[in-house]
Amino acid sequence: MELSRRTFHTLAGATALGLALDGTATAHPRPAAAPPPAADALRHTVGFDRHSLLVDGERVFVWSGEMHPFRLPSPSLWRDVLQKMRAYGYNAVSVYVAWNVHSPAPGQYDFTGVRDLDLFLRTAAETGLFVILRPGPYINAEVDAGGFPGWLTATAGTARTSDPTYLGHVDAWLTAVNGIVARHLYTRGTGTVLLYQIENEYDAYVDQPAGRDYMAHLYAKVRADGIDVPLFHNDNGRNGHWVPGSFDTGGETGRWLYGFDGYPSPFKTPPDWGHFGSGGSKGGATASPDTPGFVPEFGGGWFDPWGGVEFQGRGYAESRRTRDAAYERRFYLTNLANGITLHNVYMTFGGTSWGWLPSPQVYTSYDYGAAFDEGRGATAKLVPMHQLGHLLRGVTDFAELVRAAEVKAADARVKVYHLTAASTGAHVYVLRNDSADPVATTVPVGGVQLPVSLPGQDARLLAAGLRLGRRTLRYSSAQPMLGITAGRQDVLVLTGRGGEATRTALEWADEPEVRVLEGDAQHSYQDGALRVDARLDGLTRVLISGGGAAAPVLLLLCDDEASVRLWPYETPSGPVLVHGPALLRTAALDGTVLRLTGDTTEASGLEVWAPRGVGEVTWNGVAVRTGDSPSGGLRADTPLPGPGPVALPSLSGGWRRREENPESAPGFDDSAWRRADLTRSFSTTPVPAGQPVLFADDYGFHYGDVWYRGRFTGATGATSLSLGYSTGTQGMLMAWLDGVALGRHRMPVPDSTSVRKGSWEATAELAVPERLRTPGAHVLSVLVRRMQHDMDGKSLDTHKAARGLTRAAFAGAAPRIAWRLQGEAAYDPVRGPQNNGGLYGERQGWHLPGHPDADWTAVELPGAAARLGVTWYRRSFRLDVDPGTDASIGLVLDDDPALAYRAQIFLNGWNMGQYINDVGPQHTFVLPNGILRTRGGNTLALAVLSDGTTVSGPGVVRLALLGAVVGGVPVEAVDSPGR
């Protein structure tokens, strides 16, 4: 996140965050917020009522973000993202567990390396985040087959029903995953798994035994495996599906939550899905009035298809622009007003659908326009998440809001939601401006007509009578963020847009002494309240003491940019408040020493407020000289250093090139290939009469390219060849007869009507050259880029649609073709089943580090070959990034968009994704540290698939710095075996 130079200098000299309000106590004292969860070896209870979750009897507002460890194939970086989430205010992380990532074959389950679920759950607990676990068995998630393993596509049984064959496979999967999850349940004190989802957006067979029995079976299985936290399902919209009592739970009551997903358009009015909605089974939370409002998935962005039609070719930057911070305030605050107290943002970190992991609907990047970008960088979308997250985590009033008397703004363009906390009597107001124009108006808040300004298409939260720490906020036109006690003073933070005029009144028994330490603010005292008027510009500091207060109070009024340089952190000895750096990761007290870790993106000031007795500070293990600050904290004498330059090598030279596809030659030895001799299939694609099954999955080839070689005699009279084939989006086919290229066929680029289409069928009509129309023996060679399996969102077994060739026929002749086929070789046990396809170079290890390539042809880029088939490019490069710098690096490919070719990208043997030059829109591919050796040698290989219609690249290939910080987390090299 970039800050202006003015804001940086303001922050660098400023105080840390926090403020507490003294004065008249409310009639109903607010219970203290619970400390962050941990694997603390204590037994805990997790229940709920109609308002919220109850953890150990205390209310918890779940403010969660979605990330998928399988979309970040570097376990060290899981800690990086989780620490960032906690720092920005999240108290929970929601994760899918993808069956296909862990299961290369029936009965085989792998939870090692980049698939180490146990490590991820331990890391989440160490970070202090609750976990919402979602292991399917079906997950959707824009992954291949919706998370079903490839081998399941060629099995009997109807998926997502009570079919016993399918349930047998499901039980084996759940046994494997639940054996790990059971060791990390918060109820047992051995982890922080708080909630567990069964199935995913299941809207088929809702009123039929096949569906009800299926859900009952999953429920019973999960409970039998020892999972004792509340279970839930995410309704695919507001349908009232799978509310409590809708299926058999074995007599267990009060342990099942209703949740619903929502992805409203940013161009429409935010919907009321709760307190202020229409009610009933279609009303969202009101479908289950005895359970809390729960949105397991609320839009934090949206996915983009091949060709980029969703965002007019602008990619995920456009998703982030249209679902920006103002969108979050409008839509997420509307959810809060509607009583949604379990709120998960999908996605918060999208990551990368590397290898053959993505579903047909998406390309490699799964950035999603999320709050953290694909390179793990913070974006401006984190501002409202940070402000709201720390408020909701620290003030339990928001977990029990109910509707209060109607309140209207003076300007009718501003919609006002008025709520009150059931036990404390605090009042909360959500103000929303759905017009395009800014509005200045007044709203009756806390007994006054409070002046408030709202930008167009934006919203804000106001509070009155709200207890923050030891003080009470009478009213404010700024949004409260947190109130805590740090050392000998209380600290209160309120936030808003830059340049806004704010008015804040704090309950105060007698007139206090007030000093404005920084910024432009005026103050007055009347009727038991101290009023502070200030315009938000960076950080305004007001120190208040006396007047009956037990301790001084530091009031911080900050604009958005300043708010995200304020970092609270809970320790066993009390809260720590840090101001200045780009990120605070951890804070720990060691006697009188406060040990901090975190990140800087530039030279940054540091100011801390800590429990009494702290006199020394370290930052990332280095002692920091400090002095007392006027704000009552410790301030660093000199700025923390920012990152130095990161040198990236040029990739234009040093390449070696080799052509492949020997399979197209008639003399190629295919005797070890699998004979296509099946006559029946479990696929949803019919087997053509009189032809064998040609579907790749039926022969055990589930990912990547597949080759077919057909032998026949008698081509006399054959004028053309028809090849039927079925693929995912952007699939293609190439064919050779007796080594002569016949041509290619490719599926169309999806448009706005077909972006969700997952299976594409077509027939390639290819002319047979006259010289090949002979009666002797012939060899037909066909390469199919099958792409991925369709998801099964409608429970129609669409993941079983054929991939590869489906039929072959000649016009003018009818020879009988004897087929053999070859796809991926034995799966890579380190990199997983989605890493490799069936190209010759992949089967020979050309993508692996250490493969001998001295006899390859030395070339420079850009390349310009015109041929039908596959050409490989390899080179090595070294990086020497400073060991204290976390540099996020991407690979950029670019060329004339008229050139038709595509490339598989391999880094140190890991398949980082697919680039399609003439389709796009993706040109930058994130190379995750751990797989990328930032201090050492790397091997880059590109498998370029050319369709023969144009010359093919690669064109420009370069490394790009996506972001750099001093700090980060220690990164262990991901195992990348070579050959």
Beta partners for residue 579, in sequence order: 566, 607
Catalytic residue among 66, 142, 199, 201: 201
CA distance 202 to 742: 45
Cβ neighbourhood burial of 280 (10 Å; 0-12, 13-18, 19+): exposed
The Cα–Cα gap between 726 and 704 comes to 13
Residue 8: CB atoms within 10 Å = 22
- Which residues touch 651 (CB under 8 Å, ≥6 apart)? 861, 875, 877, 940, 957, 958, 959
Structure tokens at 447: 């007994």
Question: b/e for 763-779, b at 16 or more Cβ within 10 A?
Answer: ebebebeeeebeeeebb
Q: Find the helix or strand (DSSP H, E) in which 468 lies.
A: strand 466-468
Angle between helices 382-394 and 325-337 (to 10 degrees): 30
Residue 253 vs residues 226, 231, 242, 792: alpha-carbon distances, Å: 17, 11, 14, 31
3-state helix, strand, coil in the chain (%, to 5): 15, 35, 50
Helices in 103-247 by DSSP H: which ranges? 117-127, 164-181, 209-224
CA within 13 Å, CB half, 179: 9
Q: If you search the block for the tokens 């609320």, which residue do you land on?
A: 298
CA-to-CA distance for 197 and 32, rounded, in angstroms? Answer: 29
Alpha-carbon distance of 486 to 493, in angstroms, equals 13
- Neighbour tally for 134: CB within 10 Å: 27
How many residues belong to the chain? Answer: 979
Strand partners, 758: none
Considering the candidates 66, 297, 310, 328, report the single residue annotated as catalytic: 297
Q: What amino acid is encoded at 537 in this protein?
A: D
Contact criterion met (CB below 8 Å) for 813 and 716 = yes
CA distances from 95 to 235, 696, 876, 902 (A): 17, 31, 35, 32
CA-closest candidate to residue 649, choices 317, 936, 335, 263: 936
Q: What gap in Å lies between CA 269 and CA 293, rounded to an integer?
A: 20
C-alpha distances (whole Å) from 598 to each of 203, 366, 535, 582 are 44, 26, 30, 8
Residue 580's φ and ψ, nearest 5 degrees, are 125, -60
Phi-psi region of 845 (alpha: psi -120 to 50; beta: other; left: phi over 0): left
| Residue 840 near residue 904, CB atoms below 8 Å | no
Measure the CA angle with vertex 116, ends 112 and 118; round to 5°.
125
Q: How far is Cα 204 from Cα 794, in angstroms, rounded to an integer?
A: 6
Backbone angles phi, psi at 971, to 5 degrees: -115, 125
> What DSSP line would sit under 690-714, residue for residue?
TS----GGGGT--SS-EEEEEEEE-
For this structure, is 297 an active site residue?
yes
Nearest CA among 489, 877, 347 for reference residue 649: 877
Q: Is 126 a catalytic residue?
A: no
Going by the DSSP 8-state scheme, the letter that residue 639 receives in this structure is P
Catalytic residues: 201, 297
